[in-house]
Amino acid sequence: MPPTDRIRDHAGQGATTVAAHRTRRRLRADRARQLADLLRRQLLTDAYPDGTLPHEDALATDYGASRNTVREALDLLRAEGLVARQPGVGTVVVARKYPHGLDRLMGLAETLHEHGRVTNEVRTMGPVPAPAPVAERLQVAPASDVLYIERLRRLNAIPLSLDLTYLPLDIGSALLGADLENTDVFRLLESVTGRSLGHAEITLEAVTADAHSAAVLEAPRGAAVLMLERLTHLADGRPVDLEFIRFRGDRIAMSGLLRRSL
Amino acid sequence: MPPTDRIRDHAGQGATTVAAHRTRRRLRADRARQLADLLRRQLLTDAYPDGTLPHEDALATDYGASRNTVREALDLLRAEGLVARQPGVGTVVVARKYPHGLDRLMGLAETLHEHGRVTNEVRTMGPVPAPAPVAERLQVAPASDVLYIERLRRLNAIPLSLDLTYLPLDIGSALLGADLENTDVFRLLESVTGRSLGHAEITLEAVTADAHSAAVLEAPRGAAVLMLERLTHLADGRPVDLEFIRFRGDRIAMSGLLRRSL
């Protein structure tokens, strides 16, 4: 074989090897994701009540996966801050995601009452002139004052969410002396108006936390945040509460039920 | 004044200045977040139909904010990949978030039909032995085969989501020859079973994309992903479709309505 052919041949083999290697790596990454999703579900449903995941070999057998795939799947969950490797123990659960209902309009303390005590650190509270989109949604005159409240909300002292809240001033001013540290705004609204809440329009997004929001939530820089925008109305239809809520992605999962026909 | 006092005094002043500086920075970051949330809402509702945001001075006036706060708020939206600064033009909208309904159970093509054409790249498709949590949820015998499908879903050729799907084999095998590239699995399930879907249990989380998922979705490394887990049942209650869906956080917003009383 002339030398050039040998070189070409060699290069061809090299390319095949690189391609094969890439395919293998892609397949392993795909399988790792697939397994990580199943394990994430197990974590969400508290399938490991003692806080320890089965040994890698057991996971490999249970899920028909290779040891490498299992390790890569656990790496993914570790990067999400859900598990950690503990020498001599194995893989342990380090973060718990709390279930937040998507079926019924509820305040945070209300929805999490089984899981512990919600406390609110009021970072800012006071009247501000309503920016146009706020005035429009709360149906108040543009630039008229609304009550702005900023709260860092914790469950059992662990930061869960950062909430920015706008309330019409006639209702909001009644909240100025209220125990906001220990009470959901929803409950306060129902108590000061003597009426019950009706419905809320919500929008959910996944957003990367900016450095400052991450610091406030004590989350790693660049952590994913579940962003909830919610406009709540009284039962008579009046909009009374516009909120922008950043939930720590590693601490909250929203669950609900959808129907095919309404 | 003895020199030590002077030093103490000086240090005291220094500390005050540092603290004051920190407070100012914190306040500005808080105000920037507050403004960014209002602008994000405007972006979501297409408030700038020509694709250009008002000038920084106009935003400062409209929102009663300083130029620095406006700049910092725009920086936050730029970091989220929603806007970009274009020399000579100003701040332009670069990403559009598509609305995904949270009120009714719908497939992606169905929910986005007003916004364009959904196409699906089938990355993997074939029978796999059902891992225990899959078998349990789909109510099939453990380790019996289920159909596994992995699809990269695009709207108008732009990647939106990566979907991992498990179907019981008796129903799934009818999908093997179907036009999965152009049809929602929901529609195919209704067509092959001759029955309509009933309800789905869903869980939504915000997750940081791992490197490989980000690459598949053509998203920046570390991008936030809106993760939807969904178990869909036929109208008779039989579970027929378990999906793990990663939506690009910068391209999808989920909207719905919650009621206070059920």
pLDDT band at B3 (very low <50, low <70, confident <90, very high): very low
CA distance A231 to chain B (A): 10
Contacts of B260 in chain A (CB under 8 A): 104-105, 196-199, 235
The answer to whether the Cβ–Cβ distance between A103 and B258 falls below 8 Å is: yes
Nearest to B205 among A64, A223, A253 (CB): A253
The answer to whether the Cβ–Cβ distance between B64 and A129 falls below 8 Å is: yes
Query: How far apart, in whole angstroms, are the C-alpha atoms of residue A180 and residue A58?
Result: 48
CA distance B87 to chain A (A): 24
B258 at A interface, C-beta within 8 A: yes
CA distance A26 to chain B (A): 8
The answer to whether the Cβ–Cβ distance between A206 and B29 falls below 8 Å is: no
pLDDT at site A25: 80
Nearest to B226 among A205, A210, A244 (CB): A205
The answer to whether the Cβ–Cβ distance between A76 and B196 falls below 8 Å is: no
pLDDT at site B240: 98
pLDDT at site B18: 78
pLDDT tens track for B116-135: 999 999 999 999 999 999 99
Nearest to A256 among B62, B202, B225 (CB): B202
User: What letter does residue B191 receive in the DSSP assignment?
Assistant: H
pLDDT tens track for B180-224: 999 999 999 999 999 999 999 999 999 999 999 999 999 998 899
State the average pLDDT over residues B56-69.
95
B125 at A interface, C-beta within 8 A: no
B54 at A interface, C-beta within 8 A: no
Contacts of A257 in chain B (CB under 8 A): 199-202
CA distance B139 to chain A (A): 16
pLDDT at site B26: 81
B194 at A interface, C-beta within 8 A: no
pLDDT at site B113: 93
Contacts of residue B45, defined as CB under 8 A and 6 or more positions apart, other chains included, come to none
Query: How far apart, in whole angstroms, are the C-alpha atoms of residue B142 and residue A45?
Result: 19
pLDDT at site A14: 57
DSSP string, B41-85: HHHHTT--TTSBPPPHHHHHHHTT--HHHHHHHHHHHHHTTSEEE
A122 at B interface, C-beta within 8 A: no
CA distance B206 to chain A (A): 5
Beta strand pairing call for B98-101 and B252-259:
parallel
The answer to whether the Cβ–Cβ distance between A258 and B200 falls below 8 Å is: yes
- Residue in chain A closest to B72 (alpha carbons) equals A210
Q: What angle in degrees, to the nearest 10, is found between the helix axes of B3-44 and B67-79?
A: 60
Query: How far apart, in whole angstroms, are the C-alpha atoms of residue B176 and residue A214?
Result: 45
Contacts of A222 in chain B (CB under 8 A): 208, 222
Query: How far apart, in whole angstroms, are the C-alpha atoms of residue B81 and residue A106?
Result: 31
Element holding A64 (H helix, E strand): none
A22 at B interface, C-beta within 8 A: no
Say how many Å lie between the first and final Cα of chain B, rounded.
73
Average pLDDT, chain B: 91
Quote the pTM value. Answer: 0.91
A237 at B interface, C-beta within 8 A: no
**Dihedral of CA B248/B249/B255/B260: which sign?**
positive
A256 at B interface, C-beta within 8 A: yes
Contacts of A108 in chain B (CB under 8 A): none
pLDDT per residue rounded down to tens, chain A (262 residues): 444 333 343 444 556 677 888 888 888 899 999 999 999 999 999 899 999 999 999 999 999 999 999 999 999 999 999 999 999 999 999 988 999 989 899 999 999 999 999 999 999 999 999 999 999 999 999 989 999 999 999 999 999 999 999 999 999 999 998 999 999 999 999 999 999 999 999 999 999 999 999 999 999 988 999 999 999 999 999 999 999 999 999 999 999 999 998 7
Query: How far apart, in whole angstroms, are the C-alpha atoms of residue A177 and residue A189?
Result: 13
Contacts of B79 in chain A (CB under 8 A): 208, 210
pLDDT at site B9: 39
A30 at B interface, C-beta within 8 A: yes
Query: How far apart, in whole angstroms, are the C-alpha atoms of residue B195 and residue B16?
Result: 71
Pick among B43, B260, B261 to test the A interface (most A CBs inside 10 A): B260
